[in-house]
Chains A and B, each alone.
Chain A
Amino acid sequence: MVRKISPSRTPKQKIKNNIIRWLAYVVILFICIVLSSAGSYQKPLLLIPAAIYISSFSKEFTSIIIGIVCGLMTDIICGSLLGFNAILLMFFCIITHLLYKNLLQQRVLNFIVVSAVFIFIQGVLNYFFFYAIWGYSNVSHIFFYKTLPICGYTLISGIIIYSVISFINNRLPVE
């Protein structure tokens, strides 16, 4: 049985909880980076769902920072133009923050829908700017056999990331 830590009461406990929670997020993001850059196979871009989920319960400025950091790391591991995914993820994260602040509740279905939309947009823009725009022959093959499967893998792996981060949030509640 895992003992759930009760919500912290003193400011000192709150700070301690926050530090441990953010350290755990950093470790998760780091693992996501390492896993996303391993092997020559098609892989999910784990940083996208991680950034989206973290920004769903973070403050607006934190969401922006998370989006930029995860975006830059995605640019580095994918060898894409530095800043491209940073801008995209920054917008995704701030929109996620606003959606959850004003409209949505923390439910797994909401996360799946929101992340599916953003993952698809990222995939389409990535495909458009890095392949379609250059007019390679048979370029649609990349969209159907590379981009879409990667979007699918990312969405599925996002559910695992959601579970892991939710577990951390349950143990160290966001206050």
Chain B
Amino acid sequence: MGNFFKKNIVRIILCIVALLIGMMLYSVTQRGYTLPTTGAIGTILNPLRSAVNTVSDKVSSSIKIFTDKKEYQDQNKLLKEENAELKNQLVEYEKTKQRLAELEDFMEIKEEHEDYKFSDPCTIIGYVTNDPFHGFIINKGSNNNISLYDPVVTSNGIVGIISELSETYSIVKTICSPELSVGAISANGKYSGIVEGEVLLSDEYMCRMIYLDKDTKLKSGDLITTSSAGNLFPPGYLIGTVKSLENMESGLSKYAVIEPAVDFKTLSSVIVITDYSGKEASDGQKN
């Protein structure tokens, strides 16, 4: 083994390590813009990602039907097999219906917010592998006028921001991530704070609103919307509803557990707000 360290290969390894460290530093300076090589590999991988994701969805739907079969048997023994078949078709039908409803909703929000510029509906083509905060990949990138840190929403509420951008795809960081802080205010305008992700809550697809006074009167079911603070999102967009109030670890303030208006478990397409009044100011702050 001693001879190994005398060989040229050690010098080669050191050069490669230096190169890789250089690449890492360059990636950091790109602030979320993917390197050309990464973008190219991602572009090649995306159709596969999308296909495998579809297969994976179908397999899990089938497994779900199989595990629920006993319940169907109890409910309706005679129609057991037929029910399973119909359920299969229903899954497909529900998916199509949901997609159609989402598209209709997107049309509605376009009409509601005329000052916003939206991207075309973006399909979720995959998920960031093993991301505890549910980051995902959408099939639109800078070619579709999407920019880094653009807000990602659905008709139900906010989803997250664009955290990594390539020409043909983007990675979305969700509001379940502790890396993302969103200025928030209660719908009645009385209580403001910051909505951010938290490790334990993200398991349940929830987030929390911090910096609430100890005597806050927020209660379960109150609606929380984005505020103008932070400038990441246009103000007045629904984030979610208050589920409960808890004391912060320090005991000095409270936080509200927020159930996002968006159901991340069934999310299949989103829309990106590419422009809105006040975005320039927010871009200035980000830079």
A 50-82 contacts with B by CB, 8 A: 60-61, 64, 68, 73, 76-79, 81-82
A81-B24 contact in complex given A40-B134, A150-B130, C-beta closer than 8 Å: yes
Residues in B131-188 with C-beta less than 8 Å from chain A: 131-132, 134-136, 164, 171, 178-179
A43 close to B (CB within 8 Å): yes
Interface residue tally of chain B, by bracket? 35 or more
CB-contact partner of B199 in A35, A82, A136, under 8 A:
A136
Contacts of A39 in B (CB 8 A): 52-53, 56-57, 60, 127
Main DSSP-derived SS at the A contact region: helix
Within 8 Å by CB of B56, from A38, A90, A102, A131, lies A38
Q: Give the total number of A-B pairs whose CB atoms are below 8 A apart.
A: 113
The B contact surface, by secondary structure, is: helix
Contact B130 A38 (CB under 8 A): no
User: Could you say which of B13-21, B91-99, B273-281 contacts chain A?
Assistant: B13-21
**Bound state CA distance, A45 and B129, in angstroms?**
9
Partner of A60, one of B9, B21, B41, B49: B9
Q: A79-B171, A90-B20, A137-B249 are in contact. Are A146 and B130 (CB under 8 A)?
A: yes
- Interface of B toward A, CB cutoff 8 Å: 1, 4, 9, 12-13, 16-17, 20-21, 23-24, 27-28, 35, 38, 41-42, 45, 48-49, 52-53, 55-57, 60, 126-132, 134-136, 164, 171, 178-179, 198-200, 203, 249
Using CB atoms and an 8 Å cutoff, list the residues of chain A in contact with chain B.
33-40, 42-43, 45, 60-61, 64, 68, 73, 76-79, 81-84, 86-87, 90, 94, 98, 101-102, 131, 134, 136-139, 141-142, 145-146, 150
